[in-house]
Structure 1
Amino acid sequence: MVEVRLGAGTAVRIEESYEPNFEARSFFPDWDAAVVDRHRDWLVPAHYDEASGFLKLSIHSWLLKIGGKTILIDTCVGNHKPRPHRPKWHLMETKYLERLKAAGVEPDQIDMVMCTHLHVDHVGWNTRLENGKWVPTFRNAEYVFSRADYDHYLKLDSDPASGPVNGGSFRDSVLPVVEAGLTRMVDGAAQLDEHLKVEPAPGHTPGTIAIQFDSRGEKALFCGDILHHALQVYHPEWNSFACADGVGARKSRRAALEHCAGNGARLMPCHFGAPFSCHIDHKGDGFVPRFGGQF
């Protein structure tokens, strides 16, 4: 279990899966195989499986404790969810809730759930199956969603020509929470409390948000899919196949890296391989990741 001290708080990584799961050349349209040799010392095996040519991406949440609050950031894919479009995610049976409990937290102790965007692998544990019905997993939590993302996917999902969207996750992992009256929709920038601020970071999805954290002078940025992989620190021009607006995604990615390099904020991604988070340094007109001598 990875725990990161952040000022007066802690962030614990709650793993759902960590395996080679996407073919690199399909995931990144700009993939250049020569990048493996340039970065082999840190890339293999924690971030890339050379035998298969697959990226090794983690899918995890960050459990943040600060100021007496227990906050869960991004909620992975979830169990029992029908996802035939992604066989590795179809009807999963993982020990996610057991790992949350091992971190000292039961679902009913979560005060806030924050989703950086509403894609299938960031909303799944918002709900769980009980008696054939999808119900909120974290019954006492306030769920923070981006209004822009919610409105975008609600419109698409309501259109018979396009719905259900996001592999069905909007219907089984987002709408039940809204219908239960547990959501807080944020529009644009929003200061949630003394430690947490939301900033719009559109591109990957229309309403992607960056979550800025500050405590006792220590800063962090929970970036969701603004960056999927540590290689994007070196290549912020690389978009994934899932980025809806390529220009906006590149702009938001560079802004996130500038934010971290400029003020020392620790980058807290949801998909980087071990060691799962890092600091960012400027190098020329670009960036390099840094964590405990690795990378």
Structure 2
Amino acid sequence: MSLGDVEITRVVEWSGPIRTARFIIPDSDEETWRRNRGWLAPDFWTPDDDAYRCRIQTWVLRSEGRTVLVDTGVGNGRERPQVPQFAGLRTDYLARLRAAGVAPEDVDVVVNTHIHYDHVGWNTEWRDGEWVPTFPNATYLIPGADNAYFDPESPRRSRPPRDDHERVRWEGSKLVYNDSIAPVLRAGQAVLWEGSYRIDGNLLLETAPGHTPGSSVLTLRSGTDRAVFVGDMLHSPVQVLDPDWNSCFCDDLRLAARTRRAWLSRAAELRELVVPAHWPGHGAAEVRQDGDGFAISAWAAFPRG
């Protein structure tokens, strides 16, 4: 689809169920899922087994003559103790990118909305015995706050893990950093940005912390069309209904909820298309204010398949 002068394509790396709905969105209640099953199922949730459904996908933007990738998925052949489901993953992701008209050497900009395993994996690939940047001509835009937080050598790690689950995630995040971030930094292809970063006349990166310290959103404004690529601010549409509901992956729960509500309020006011990282189905939606929360007012024009 196109918004103004920007063409948007989605490239799916993986699609399927992950754990249960209330494991992923632990603040949510069963009654809300059941009451909204008519539109949550089957794209986002399967009631029979209470499975949360998601997609790992990249948004490809063609803007002002350049090709921009928003998030790069899990990647192949990774060691991921924190998510055994994606350890040693093997997909034809690069072939799917090529089918969308994008060869690795064609990519000008890679946006990592934050440093989590399913947003940075294809930053690199294994070649000649080492991890090297997958996109040789690209500038990788990485939130500086996340880089400082997840770098195993950084003194700015803000707090110790809260429990064994977080401890496994933190140990896993070291592997993510070492195989998907550090090689890009060593290659001199990364820009660590703070606050905001203007990519071109249509695209602006802005900080949106809470999910991680450096979580960011990419806003698109072209002509009268607007969109906001929100990364993991929204794992499920039920968080549109109640923005105070965090995912189990959010780092600072209160800040994540405030950030989510603020950006949804702006999207409703400005009629921005909200484009999360992991939604199946139509993949994106417009929202409207609905009491203390929000509601879906229209789905994006992407096919559900």
Interval containing the TM-score (normalised by the shorter chain) = over 0.9
Match of 1:239 in 2: 246
2:125 to 124, 128, 135: 128
SS at match of 2:89: coil
2:45 to 42, 48, 53: 48
SS at match of 1:178: helix
Distance 2:25 2:287 in 1: 21
Identity of aligned residues (%): 37
- 1:143-158 counterparts in 2 under 5 A? 143-155=140-152
1:200 to 207, 215, 229: 207
Say whether the 8 Å CA contact 1:164–1:170 is kept in structure 2: no
Kindly state the Cα deviation for residue 286 of structure 1 after the two structures are TM-superposed: 2.1
Q: Which runs of 5+ in 1 are unaligned?
A: none
Match of 1:263 in 2: 270
- 1:75-86 counterparts in 2 under 5 A? 75-86=72-83
1:171 to 164, 178, 187: 178
Residues 244 and 292 of structure 1: CA distance in aligned 2, closer, same or farther (over 3 Å): closer
Instruction: Give 1:144's aligned amino acid.
Output: L
Match of 1:63 in 2: 60
**Is residue 2:25 matched to residue 1:28?**
yes
Distance 2:103 2:300 in 1: 35
Match of 2:12 in 1: 15
Kindly state the Cα deviation for residue 80 of structure 1 after the two structures are TM-superposed: 0.7
Match of 1:191 in 2: 198
Distance 2:128 2:65 in 1: 33
CA deviation vs aligned residue, 1:8-47 (integer Å, no higher than 9, x gap) = 1111111011111122222122131112221111111110
Instruction: Give 1:48's aligned amino acid.
Output: W
Distance 1:260 1:293 in 2: 14
Q: Which runs of 5+ in 2 are unaligned?
A: 161-166
Aligned residue-pair number: 290
TM-score normalised to structure 2 length? 0.90
**Is residue 2:105 matched to residue 1:108?**
yes
The worse-fitting range, judged by mean Cα deviation, of 236-245 and 22-31 is 22-31
The worse-fitting range, judged by mean Cα deviation, of 148-157 and 4-13 is 148-157
Kindly state the Cα deviation for residue 240 of structure 1 after the two structures are TM-superposed: 1.0
Say whether the 8 Å CA contact 2:151–2:174 is kept in structure 1: no
CA RMSD of aligned residues (A): 1.9
1:280 to 284, 287, 290: 287
SS at match of 1:170: helix
CA deviation vs aligned residue, 1:206-225 (integer Å, no higher than 9, x gap) = 01111111111211101001
SS at match of 2:151: helix
Distance 1:6 1:111 in 2: 20
Query: Which stretches of structure 1, 4 residues or more, deviate above 3 A after TM superposition?
Result: 155-159, 161-165
Distance 1:192 1:101 in 2: 23
1:141 to 138, 150, 166: 138
TM-score normalised to structure 1 length? 0.93
**Is residue 2:177 matched to residue 1:180?**
no
SS at match of 1:138: coil
Say whether the 8 Å CA contact 1:126–1:177 is kept in structure 2: yes
Distance 2:66 2:283 in 1: 23
Say whether the 8 Å CA contact 2:285–2:300 is kept in structure 1: no
Kindly state the Cα deviation for residue 165 of structure 1 after the two structures are TM-superposed: 4.8
Match of 2:164 in 1: none
Instruction: Give 1:168's aligned amino acid.
Output: L
Say whether the 8 Å CA contact 1:203–1:245 is kept in structure 2: yes
SS at match of 2:18: strand
SS at match of 1:51: coil
